[in-house]
Structure formats: structure tokens, C-alpha cells
Structure 1
Amino acid sequence: MKHTTVVDYNKTYHIILSGGGTGGHIYPAVAIANELKQRFPNAKFLFVGAKDRMEMDKVPEAGYKIHGLWISGIQRAWTLKNLSFPFKLISSLWGAKKIIAKFKPDVVIGTGGFASGPLLHMAAAKGIPSLIQEQNSFPGITNKLLGKKVSKICVAYDGLERFFPANKIIKTGNPVRADLLHINEKRSAALKTFQLDAEKKTILVLGGSLGARRINELLEKELDFLLTHNVQVVWQCGKLYYNQYKIYNHTKHIQVHQFINDMASAYAAADIIISRAGAISVSELCIVGKPVIFIPSPNVAEDHQTKNAQAIANEQAAILIKESDLDVDFQNKFIQLIVAPDKQKALADNIKKLARENATKDIADQVEQLLGVQKAKTA
């Protein structure tokens, strides 16, 4: 017997998303919100972030309202800033409680970062359906603490049962921006956007939204070497380093950017990408399908960036160079790649095979279930 449930996609659901601190927490939240907005055009959205962090700018740029909490993490090395943490935590919990009471969310979604902890904690305590999206193979402390409280946990890697209740885990992959799909069709326009020479290979260098000191030092040291190979460089150095490296904007065939807002165009213009190996970066680069040199940060919990990059390199889908090996290996591995079109194509094809293009939709499906929305089914 067939049983059909009528889906009221016009209902005005109230949805809170919380996450931030870095682009790796912000952009997945925005991608999820965009997908839910398509499904529920009358829904109301509110983001909750940490005051003075980049989400306070990036979320409004994406078209959503955001409320900031006074919260930050505990520094691993002892600093005086840690003395303020208990006061920030109490303030943020109180602030989260007031936000929930006023907005009355039907569901709350967390994508990691300091602010998601107090917000998801208070939501779960009130029995509001909640979901966290864990991007990494080794969760941060916020999501580990939230795992026992929330309703569902969407993950991108196997083996997360070590950290979360197995019955709550759904493997979806990481959400990525929809504009990254089919970027090869945007290449000509992208070259014009960045005013690049179509006859030269374009090297795109990414160190994360805040920047990566070691990658920036490498680029400064190797610029002359790179330019001898008839390439042009688009270099996102990060807001923390822009004043130091912007002088190279005056060098022919070198562009230095504090931050690249139009990442779809940057990826479309690129022929080879040099990048950190944060979970969202890895997921995006699988979708993009270009040859990649990963330089993972060693300064993260459980060295998870190296594990992320190694998993891709093991599939012959990327080149991995550890920071400690850059001085010895970078020039040799770059030359081996730049002079070998067949190797470039093989890496591009292999990394594309690892993409999970439906991750955002799969996460939105889980949110629908939490909202009590069921599609037509056979009973």
C-alpha cells in the first residue's frame, strides 16, 4: 500500500545556523542555508557567530542576517586571554538562550567553531532538533562535546564512531559552494575577471582564509623560480599577511590578494593549485578537479590536514609535500608536474573521482527529516 505524505514546502520554518572563525566553518553553513532556502522559500534564517571573527562580514555578504556572541576558544599555550574564557562562555550561553527564545527555531545546525558550542548546547537542552556537520577526520573539541547532545551528526570520513554515537552518524561528505560545479565552462570568463594571459599556465596559491605563513614564505622565496617556467601566479596570502606581501603586486605576472571572494572564478582560471589541506578545501578541490599540490598545516589537532592530504595522494590524485620537506622537494616536484601534461591530467581525473557532489543536498535531506518533513514514500 502506498502512503503519501504531503510536503508543505511553503511553511515558514525558522532555521538557525552557527559556525565560524574560518572559511572552513562559514562556507559549509552558507551552502546548507542556500540549499534549504531553495527548498523552503518562505523559511527565515539566522546565523550565529563569534563577534569580531570573519563570519560577521562574510555571512551578510552571502545575504543572511547574523548575530555575534562574545566567545573565543581556549589557547593551547597558556596566555592571559584564557582568563577571560569563563566569562565569555557564561555570556555566550546567556546570549544563545536569548536568541533561541526570540527566534524560536524549528531546527539548529552547527558547522563548527566557537560560537556553535553555546548555541547548539542551549538548543539541545530545550529539545530543539539539532544537527552538527563535522568536516574533519578528527573532530574539534566543540563538536566532540556536542556529539552526545545533538540529534544527528553528518560526517565526511569513516571511523568517526571513535568520537560520536554511531546511531547518530550519517556519512554525507562536506558541503561545498554550488558555484564550483561545472567550473570548466567558466574558464574564459574567469581569465578575463583576473586579467590573466590565456597563453600562460596559471598557478593558484591558497593558504586558507587567514593565510599560511609557511606557504607565503615559500612563494616569496620561489617566485623567480616559478616565473622561469612561463607561468602566472594568483596568490591569496591572507588578511594577516597582506601588508607584508602586497609589494609583489608590482611584479609582472604576479597577483597578490588578501582574500578572493570569487573562488569559482579563481578555480576556473587555475591550471595548478597549491593549497593547505583543510577538510573543506580538500572537498572543494575534489569538485574542482584540477592538479593539486597539498602543503598541509602541521599545527592542527592530530595532524588531520596531513591525513586529509595523504588520503588523496594515496589515490594518485594529488601531490603531498610536508612543510618540513619544502626546501628539498618543492622545486623538483613542481618541475615534474609543470612539464608533464599527462601527469596533470591524471591527477585532475583522479581527484575528480573522489568528489561527493551531492553532499549539500544529502545534509539538507537530514535537516528535512528533523523538521518532520517526509517525502512521498512507499509503506
Structure 2
Amino acid sequence: MSNKDKTYKIILSGGGTGGHIYPAIAIANELKLRFPNAEFLFVGAEDRMEMEKVPQAGYDIKGLWISGIQRQLTLKNLMFPFKLVSSLWKARKIINSFKPDVVIGTGGFASGPLLQMAASKKVPCLIQEQNSFPGITNKVLAKKVQKICVAYDGLERFFPKEKLIKTGNPVRESLLDIDSKTVEAKDFFNLKHGKLTLLILGGSLGSRRINQLIEKELEFLQMQNVQVVWQCGKLYYQQYKIYNHTKDVQVYEFLNNMDFAYAAADIVISRAGASSVSELCIVGKPVIFIPSPNVAEDHQTKNAMAIVDKNAALIIKEEDLDVDFESKFSKLIASSERQKELGMNIKKLALVNATSQIADEVEKLLKS
């Protein structure tokens, strides 16, 4: 029997945000192409978005009763030890029942207990760290897993050097050739050809601060002759949908056709989650990062600065938005040379074969 025909059993765990979920799905899709007979199971956190997004992608998922530790003393923190014990017990049950040949963690609350139990059962494990500054879950797991796939240099500060493989972050296949889709994409969104298009991305749930900024600056953007595709997020759509189709503005809760959104854009304003940064490198458009300050270890600022330091993007911190946004944006749209320079520089940082390389490492673990 060839390796391709073997019925491998593979568990993937990661979630909480799209940045952990979509890389896991991309890895699963690649492995499914290589091993059509493989069985896949996802493990996530019971009440998070992976419980909806993973079944939509065609995979089974089981949920653990787990959440992160809050920064301040809350009732949720008092519940954490009970949730952890419950999740470890259920993770052990899943491992014993499913009997995986390999377990892959892409970060998020649920991957901690699941990989902890898998490692204790001597199941080969791989983690994929998306950020330039790892979260606590992956730092703890690093000692127990066989391989750690990363997207940035310098991660030996946090992880055993001999386990590190620099692969980049998995991204959607549809983004690899967006330049050929520009005309079709502008038509898809009913945008005016020849008019500068600004794409605003606040993440799947949305960014309160970015939404407040855009609402405040709509008149300014109209004066700059800019048309706007504004993904405001699930939590904010009801509040901001009143601006839909006013002043060349289109408001969306969520963008399902991200390849078209990127293809239509001339400039992008985005959070700096790891998956977004990786996608924007492949897309190769001028970007203004507005990192979220409300994430562990301020890793979005670190992700953004890894790009900004290479003269490949601009950054405006949330506390500087009211002072700096109009001047930085005006300066950028006034210089097509600067736009071109940023687009070319960010594209040089793209790691386009990440999904395939991670699957290669998983395959080595399966064969060993």
C-alpha cells in the first residue's frame, strides 16, 4: 500500500479567531489532497467561531469547554482551573477514541489541552506559530512537540532552535493570482474603474476603533475622491450599515470573496493579525496597519513592525489615529511612487509555499 492510500488519522486544533482557524483549514485541505483516504477531526473551543467555520469547510469538529485567562480578576478567571481540567479530560477521551497518527496545533485556547494530551500519549505533534511573538499556549507546548513551523525570524528566543522550520503562514489559494482579477473584482463590487479604492479590514468580528475612525473620516475620504469597501465586522454591522451605498461607501459584515476584495483595492487599512499580514504580503498592495493593542504581548504591533522596519508598510497606532491619519493617508495617495514602493517591498516578504511546506513536515512525522 502506498503512503497516499493509507488511512491516516489527523487531528487539527486551533481557533478563537480566523487567524487560527483558516491556517488549520488550509493545512487540512493540503493534506487531504495528498492523502485522500485520511480521516480528519478538528478540536476547538465550544463557543467560538471555529464551531461554525470548520463545518462550513467540510470537516467534523468537537468542542472543549475552555477559554483564555483574562488580564484582570474576573469570574471567568475563577472558572479557568475547572475549564482546564474539563478540557484535559475531554481531550484525553478524544485522543483515546480517535487514535490520531499526528496532531497539529495552530494556536488558540483549545490547542493547549489537546496537544498536551496528545504529547503525553506519545502522538507526534506539530505546532504552527503565526506571530512574531508567540502566545503562552505555544510557548508551553514547545517543549513537548516534535516540530514548530514559524513565519518570522528570531523565534529561537522562545522555542528550541532544533525544532524550528521557517515556512510562513498558510493563506487561501485564491490569493496567489489576484493581479489577473482586478477588472472582474471592481465589477463584482460595482466600483468605478480609475477611482482609488480603499479596503478596510477590521478582522472577522470587527474593530471598534477602526470603525469609529472610518465613520469620522468619511467626509475626508470623499474629498480625497476615494471609494471605500468597508468590512466592519459581525459585532458592528447593525451600527454601520446605514452608510452602505452613501458617498461611494460599501459596508460589509464579512467578505466571503477576499481574493476579489484584495484585487479591487488600491490601498488597504488593516489590523495586523498574523494571517492578515501574511495575506497582505502575498497581495502586494500598499498597507496602513492599525494594530490592535488589546491582544496578548501586543503581538499585532510586533507583527506590523516586522513589515514597517523593511519599508514595506505604514503603521498608525490607535492612540495616534486622530492626529496622524489624515496627514499620512493624504501623503500616501498623493504619491503613486510611494504606493508602488510599498507594494513591491511587501510582496518581497511573501512566503507563498507555506501550506505545502507545513504539509511536508506533517508528512515526515506520519512516515516516521
**TM-score clears 0.5:** yes
**TM-score, normalization by structure 1:** 0.94
Return the alpha-carbon distance in structure 2 between the equivalents of residues 295 and 95 of structure 1: 38
Contact 2:133/2:302 (8 A) holds in 1 = no
Return the alpha-carbon distance in structure 2 between the equivalents of residues 66 and 256 of structure 1: 31
Name stretches of at least 5 consecutive residues in structure 1 with no aligned partner.
1-5, 374-379
Does structure 1 residue 304 correspond to structure 2 residue 302? no
Does structure 1 residue 319 correspond to structure 2 residue 314? yes
Aligned residue in 2 for 1:67: 62
Aligned residue in 2 for 1:275: 270
Deviations 1:184-208 (A, max 9, x none): 1122222232222223221110111
2:90 to 95, 100, 113: 95
1:181-200 superposed matches below 5 A: 181-200=176-195
State the aligned residue count.
368
Letter of the 2:361 counterpart? Q
Name stretches of at least 5 consecutive residues in structure 2 with no aligned partner.
none
Deviations 1:321-357 (A, max 9, x none): 1112211111111111112222111111111011000
Deviations 1:99-142 (A, max 9, x none): 11222111100000001111111111100011000111211111
**TM-score, normalization by structure 2:** 0.97
2:149 to 143, 151, 154: 154
1:354 to 346, 349, 355: 349
Return the alpha-carbon distance in structure 2 between the equivalents of residues 81 and 308 of structure 1: 28
SS in structure 2 at match of 1:285 = helix
Tell which deviates more after alignment, 60-69 or 12-21.
Answer: 60-69
Aligned residue in 2 for 1:16: 11
Letter of the 2:345 counterpart? N
Aligned residue in 1 for 2:164: 169
The Cα RMSD (Å) is 1.4
SS in structure 1 at match of 2:339 = helix
Deviations 1:60-108 (A, max 9, x none): 1212111111111111111111122122112111211121122211110
Letter of the 1:353 counterpart? K
Contact 1:134/1:143 (8 A) holds in 2 = yes
Does structure 1 residue 77 correspond to structure 2 residue 72? yes
Return the alpha-carbon distance in structure 1 between the equivalents of residues 102 and 336 of structure 2: 48
How far apart are residue 7 of structure 1 and its match? 5.2
Return the alpha-carbon distance in structure 1 between the equivalents of residues 188 and 114 of structure 2: 39
SS in structure 2 at match of 1:114 = coil
Letter of the 1:343 counterpart? R
How far apart are residue 258 of structure 1 and its match? 1.4
Letter of the 2:354 counterpart? A
2:36 to 32, 41, 61: 41
How far apart are residue 16 of structure 1 and its match? 0.7
Sequence identity, in percent? 74
SS in structure 2 at match of 1:255 = strand
Aligned residue in 2 for 1:3: none
Return the alpha-carbon distance in structure 1 between the equivalents of residues 262 and 60 of structure 2: 28
How far apart are residue 250 of structure 1 and its match? 4.6
